[in-house]
């Protein structure tokens, strides 16, 4: 029996709340607050204020996403930038890895479903942090078209063994995330797609993760 519109809207709201909870998980919040507390106790006001300011910006952006069915691409980019900044403050060694967001020159006012892009970016950053000594290179490319926004994350390693380990770890992280995409596509005609592949040239090994989102401006 087909579900009525009210049921679909309720399930869609529940999915958005679940996505919000995934980003604002207790472990992430505890670590952020613990970092702020540490710098207060050692009387490092500059670092404490920097942590607090970045964390506050993230919270505001996360809350903005849960209030709306769509978000600006520019806001999702801000989330990724502030999240990366916060993690670099907490993990100084993370700055040894090359992490870059290739900013598009136009169409940053495109609207996309909330949390999807930033959650993907955050999951990959967390995996890099878990093995940060290997100095990964991460680049995010954005291709904005009239009906879609395509994000490609390229993660480069200099070891085939590390590429295999990292690729397997990322695939495991994305399993449950793909379920969320399937549920979203069932509730909304968004046609979101997630693909992964690997490539190797000479001594460089690349893992690619592509996320295709709808451009909801129209």
Residue 51, SS3?
A: helix
The pLDDT of residue 192? 92
| Residues comprising the chain, all counted | 218
DSSP secondary structure letter of residue 135: -
- H helices of the chain, where? 5-23, 26-41, 45-66, 73-90, 116-130, 160-187
Query: What is the pLDDT at residue 1?
Result: 43
Which segments of the chain have a pLDDT < 50? Answer: 1
pTM over 0.75: yes
Q: What is the pLDDT of residue 5?
A: 62
The answer for residues whose C-beta is within 8 angstroms of residue 24's C-beta and 6 or more apart is: 59, 62
pLDDT at 8: 59
Task: Supply the CATH number for residue 209's domain.
Answer: 3.30.565.10
Q: Report which DSSP code applies to 189.
A: T
- Number of domains present in the structure of the chain: 1
| Structural domain boundaries, residue 97 | 5-214
Q: What are phi and psi of 150, to 5 degrees?
A: -110, 125
């Amino acid at each position: 029996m087909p579900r009525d519109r009210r049921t679909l809207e309720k399930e869609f709201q529940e999915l958005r709340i679940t996505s919000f909870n995934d980003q604002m998980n207790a472990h992430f919040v505890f670590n952020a607050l613990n970092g702020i507390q540490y710098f207060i106790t050692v009387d490092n006001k500059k670092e404490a204020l920097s942590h607090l300011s970045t964390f506050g910006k993230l919270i505001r952006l996360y809350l903005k996403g849960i209030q709306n069915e769509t978000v600006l691409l520019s806001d999702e980019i801000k989330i990724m930038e502030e999240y990366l900044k916060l993690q670099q403050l907490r993990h100084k060694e993370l700055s040894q890895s090359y992490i870059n967001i290739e900013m598009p020159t136009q169409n940053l006012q495109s609207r996309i479903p909330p949390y999807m892009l930033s959650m993907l970016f955050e999951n990959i950053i967390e995996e890099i942090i878990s093995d940060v000594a290997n100095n990964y290179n991460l680049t995010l490319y954005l291709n904005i078209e009239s009906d879609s926004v395509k994000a490609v994350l390229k993660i480069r390693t200099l070891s085939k063994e590390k590429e295999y380990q990292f690729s397997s770890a990322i695939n495991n992280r994305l399993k449950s995330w793909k379920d969320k995409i399937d549920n979203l596509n069932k509730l909304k005609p968004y046609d979101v797609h997630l693909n992964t592949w690997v490539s190797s040239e000479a001594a460089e090994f690349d893992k690619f993760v592509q996320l295709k989102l709808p451009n909801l401006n129209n």
